[in-house]
Structure 1
Amino acid sequence: MFEYIKKKIEKNPSPEKFLNLFHCLNELGDSSLMEQIQNYVTAGTVNKVKLSSSQWSALIFVLLTSEQEMNVFKLKDFVGSQIKADEVLLKLLPVVKAYRSAQLNSCGVTDECCVALASVLTSNPSQLRELNVSGNKLGNSGVKMFSSGLENPHCKLEKLWLRYCEITDEGCAALASALRSNPSHLRELDLSWNKLGDSGLKHLCEGLKDPQCKLEKLSLSSCDVTDEGCVALASVMKPNPSHLRELNLSWNKLRDPGIKLLSTGLENPQCQLEKLWLSDCSVTYHGCAALASALRSNPSHLRELDLTKNQLTDSGVKLLDLYTLKFHIPYGIFS
């Protein structure tokens, strides 16, 4: 009987079927395969072993029936020289669906897996609320496929990290479309270190301006944004209600004209922004003057402002009137 069940498992049936088969083995008192895999998991050596089809099934069973709370799935724990990230991810999709957070960053995942990821987002029910795919070469093609999952009403994803994913304005257009189709769940989006440019930012802002969009945190560090893109960003701060609370624009060449445009959004009474990062944005005294004016017009929300690595001068710092404005200044903020 044991061998018959194990042969059935080797045929790689659907997850529902092999889970039932493993339960049968447990009931019959044969847990040898599960114990072997559990030892690999405990020792952290799963990524060093070439697993057979039945062992992969056993791994899924062990992970899904673990007594530990299913909070964070880390793909790196299972990727090694024996098998590529894409293949591992495809095998472990049933596990990814069951976890609240999936950390797939810097594992070598490609656009080939993005259709599968989209299926995870659209599965009902899916427990996934946080997804980190940063540092993978998804490109625009991958983001487009992935966005088809984001726009599905069943998708409940709240946090999405896409840093260093080789995304341009074309990928931003797909993300913006997804945000418009399903705007009510995503709370945090990180697109830092991609080549979005002003055109990509404009696409994105069209999605963010949707009245139902609940995005609170947006990171766009080093995204080739200039003063031209600041017009679109300022418009995102003005809707009533505005949900955006944290905005990171560091390492973009906004310069003083960009800061002046951004300040038109900050001074709007509907702006609820609490944290703003503008490190290394080529800001000078004139940009400080615009920020100071905006903060005087709408002083009640901003708590943290980062202006490190800019050419503010003492005069620019004084303009911000730090002793009367009620926001937190991190150490070395004007260095």
Structure 2
Amino acid sequence: MSESVDAESVISEVEEQFFGNEGFEGEECEELDETELFHDSENDSVYQVKQLIKYDLKSSSTSSHFFEPPHKIRCLGEIQLSRSSAILNPYRYFEDIKIGVDLNDHLWTPKIKPEYDDIGVERYKDLVKEYKAPIIRDIVDQLGTDTMKLKYYGLNDRSYKILLEVLKYNKHVKYLDLTNNVMTSLDTARAFAEMILHNKTIETINLTNCDIGPKYMKIISERVGTNKFLKELNLSHCNIGDEGCIALAEELGPNTGLEKLNLSFNNLTANCCQELGDAIFDNNNLTDYNLSGNNIKENGFGLLVNNLRDNFTQKIARLNFSKCNLGVENDKSLKILALKISGLKYLDLSFNQITGSALESIAFGMRRNSNLLELNLGYNPLTIDDIILLMDTLRMMRPARKLKILDLSDKYVPKQCSEVIEKVKNKRKVIFRGYLCNYAISGPGLKEMFIKRLKAICELKSKKAKDKNKFGAFFYKIKSEQYVKPSDFPGFFEEICECEKLIKDKDFLRGLASTFTDQTKKVNVGMIRDMFLTAYPETPQPPPPVVEQSQVRRKAKDKKKLKKKK
């Protein structure tokens, strides 16, 4: 028969077996209502004890507090296993399992993120492997330098993202040239914006001909205003349009680092000049604006100039309005530009339609502006009188004026202006093509040369032969033996000739008159007629005069009256 077993004696034996005389260092949490003992009748011994007492596990062997904060267990995966914590049961009811395998090799361990340096070569190589992109050796070589030139590489989306991710943490590259690397996805534009936000080293970014467009420009513009380290931004030929320019202008106000901005050839019009002018007024750090190749016309130009004038710091040093379709209508704005902007040093107005009153306004500003160093007026339709006005302005300028270069690249200067150029050449340089020759030309074929030149000036530039031979019909109105005074010759041609180029070219008309002046001291207009029609026999005759209907009716009535009388 099995003997009864006392539960308290069993518990005390278990505690003495595992904890000795010190007992269990824990707090009793809860005592169960029932105590169940299982007895082996054959061996007459206790083999299992269940539901005795729950203890808060705080044992001397583990030194852990598992069930209460801050180590309250929610999942078994949160328990860090080690050799010292293999036995968690305070009763040690089950014996230790001894195996010859290191459990650390079979347990999951979190991946340790690699640490990269501030150059980013290893980061670039790892990203190339991850995205399965081709490695570009020039990027690897230039990451440790201050200049990264990637012109015409044709970077795709993957290569773009990898490069921009590496540049986010690079601390060496200061000049980034991405000319002609087109952005083709929205993710690339976002990656570029994030690079601008995090990078604190790059000072110059060149995005010429990257075809960003207005949509991507809005994303990039959001980060331009927050970057205080970027000093120069080149967006030439990026097709951002008025919409992209407005988005960029809104972010230029709070920007405190940008000094140079290039927006040339971006299809800008007068519609974006108000917002761009406000940005110029608010931003006191930008000193260099390039708006060349944009059709801003007179309205947009006036808005920009007024904001430049109202900018109280007057830090604008360089302005480029080349190929902006500026003309006589901008004479007031040009006067303000050359006169009121005191800090202006470089002004480019080439490839416009500046002449007459517009040029007079610029000449007036030249005499008053004390800081202007360089003025470019090349490839404007300047007349000889305009060039003489500029030379007189140089002659009257005070020695204290700082103008050093006057660019008239495509112009021929009259010979009488050579004295002024020689006088000021030690301090001021005039760039021009050459002097107008005032020497008399002589030779056996001089008259034929003038006739050919006359045809070349007035001939229409057309591929059709019919259109080319339209000029010269007015010569049939001239009599074969007709003479005109040399002083009346230009006016005579203005009346009979419809070619505006010939009428404006007064120097050619004077040369033509002097060549065909004979012993009578009059211009032989009949000889000009005969030589022209002989050289160009395909010259069409003028159309017959148009007879009015009233005249036709009168002639018909007269015929009827004559018939009745007969």
TM range (shorter): 0.7 to 0.9
State the distance in 1 between where 2:332 and 2:184 align: 39
Deviations 1:11-69 (A, max 9, x none): xx99x72637xx9xxxxxxxxx98xx8xxxxxxxxxxxxx6449879879x84896x5x
State the distance in 2 between where 1:259 and 1:87 align: 51
Question: Secondary structure of 1:247's partner?
Answer: strand
Deviations 1:170-197 (A, max 9, x none): 1111111111132x21111111111111
Conservation of the 8 A alpha-carbon contact between 1:144 and 1:175: yes
| Equivalent residue number for residue 160 of structure 1 | 233
| Equivalent residue number for residue 80 of structure 2 | none
One-letter code aligned to 1:164: H
One-letter code aligned to 2:238: C
Alignment of 1:168-247 (within 5 A): 168-182=241-255, 184-210=256-282, 212-238=283-309, 239-247=311-319
Conservation of the 8 A alpha-carbon contact between 1:245 and 1:275: yes
1:314 to 2:384 alignment = yes
After TM superposition, give the deviation of residue 261 of structure 1 in Å. Answer: 1.3
Higher helix proportion: 1
1:329 to 2:402 alignment = no
Conservation of the 8 A alpha-carbon contact between 1:237 and 1:271: no
Unaligned runs of 5+ in 2: 1-110, 412-566
After TM superposition, give the deviation of residue 330 of structure 1 in Å. Answer: 5.0
Conservation of the 8 A alpha-carbon contact between 1:120 and 1:126: no
After TM superposition, give the deviation of residue 225 of structure 1 in Å. Answer: 1.4
1:75 to 2:142 alignment = no
1:319–1:65 distance in 2 versus 1, CA, 3 Å: closer
Question: Secondary structure of 2:116's partner?
Answer: helix
| Equivalent residue number for residue 116 of structure 1 | 191
One-letter code aligned to 1:157: L
State the distance in 2 between where 1:111 and 1:262 align: 42
Q: Pick from 181, 194, 212: which aligns with 1:107?
A: 181
State the distance in 2 between where 1:266 and 1:334 align: 22
State the distance in 1 between where 2:237 and 2:267 align: 9
1:264 to 2:318 alignment = no
One-letter code aligned to 1:17: P
1:224–1:65 distance in 2 versus 1, CA, 3 Å: closer
| Equivalent residue number for residue 114 of structure 2 | 17
State the distance in 2 between where 1:214 and 1:317 align: 36
| Equivalent residue number for residue 435 of structure 2 | none
1:334–1:319 distance in 2 versus 1, CA, 3 Å: farther
Conservation of the 8 A alpha-carbon contact between 2:376 and 2:407: no
Which shows bigger deviation, 273-282 or 253-262?
A: 253-262
State the distance in 2 between where 1:334 and 1:216 align: 29
Conservation of the 8 A alpha-carbon contact between 1:265 and 1:271: no
One-letter code aligned to 2:150: L
Conservation of the 8 A alpha-carbon contact between 1:122 and 1:155: no
One-letter code aligned to 2:332: K
| Equivalent residue number for residue 48 of structure 1 | none
Q: Pick from 197, 200, 210: which aligns with 1:126?
A: 200
State the distance in 2 between where 1:289 and 1:65 align: 51
State the distance in 2 between where 1:313 and 1:115 align: 52
Unaligned runs of 5+ in 1: 1-12, 24-32, 38-50
Conservation of the 8 A alpha-carbon contact between 2:179 and 2:206: yes
Q: Pick from 159, 162, 167: which aligns with 1:91?
A: 162
- Using the size of structure 1 for normalisation, the TM-score is 0.75
Q: Pick from 362, 368, 392: which aligns with 1:291?
A: 362
Percent pairwise identity: 24
Question: Secondary structure of 2:229's partner?
Answer: coil
| Equivalent residue number for residue 273 of structure 1 | 344
After TM superposition, give the deviation of residue 167 of structure 1 in Å. Answer: 1.4
1:88–1:285 distance in 2 versus 1, CA, 3 Å: same
Deviations 1:88-139 (A, max 9, x none): 121112443421111111012235222111111111x521111111101211
1:65–1:208 distance in 2 versus 1, CA, 3 Å: closer
Question: Secondary structure of 2:194's partner?
Answer: helix
Question: Secondary structure of 1:17's partner?
Answer: coil
State the distance in 2 between where 1:176 and 1:138 align: 16
State the distance in 2 between where 1:300 and 1:56 align: 57
Greater relative contact order: 1 or 2 (C-alpha under 8 angstroms, separation 6 or more)? 1
Over the residues paired in the alignment, what is the CA RMSD in angstroms? 3.1
State the distance in 2 between where 1:288 and 1:59 align: 52
Which shows bigger deviation, 312-321 or 191-200?
A: 312-321
Larger Rg: 2
Question: Secondary structure of 1:317's partner?
Answer: helix
| Equivalent residue number for residue 497 of structure 2 | none
| Equivalent residue number for residue 10 of structure 1 | none
State the distance in 2 between where 1:161 and 1:224 align: 19
Which shows bigger deviation, 280-289 or 236-245?
A: 236-245
1:87–1:259 distance in 2 versus 1, CA, 3 Å: farther
Conservation of the 8 A alpha-carbon contact between 1:106 and 1:133: yes
1:237–1:54 distance in 2 versus 1, CA, 3 Å: closer
After TM superposition, give the deviation of residue 267 of structure 1 in Å. Answer: 1.5
One-letter code aligned to 1:19: Y
Conservation of the 8 A alpha-carbon contact between 1:234 and 1:266: no
